[in-house]
Amino acid sequence: MSDWNVLKPSDSGDKNVGTLSTLELTFARTDLESCTTARTQNIAPKSVYWIEKASEILWENTLGVISQTTMEKLHNSTLSNYSSHDSKGKVLVRCKLVKQTQI
Residue ranges of domains in the chain: 24-102
The reported pTM is 0.69
- Tell me the Cα Rg of the chain: 16
Rounded mean pLDDT, 88-99: 70
* Residue among 69, 62, 58, 8 at smallest CA distance from 36: 58
Rounded mean pLDDT, 64-74: 90
Q: Print burial letters for 21-39: b (CB count within 10 Å at least 16), e (below 16).
A: eeeeeebeeeebeebbeeb
Rounded mean pLDDT, 79-89: 82
Could you please state the CATH topology (level 3) that the domain comprising 24-102 is classified under. Answer: DNA polymerase; domain 1 (1.10.150)
Secondary structure class of 25 (helix, strand, coil): strand
> Which residue type is seen at 18?
G
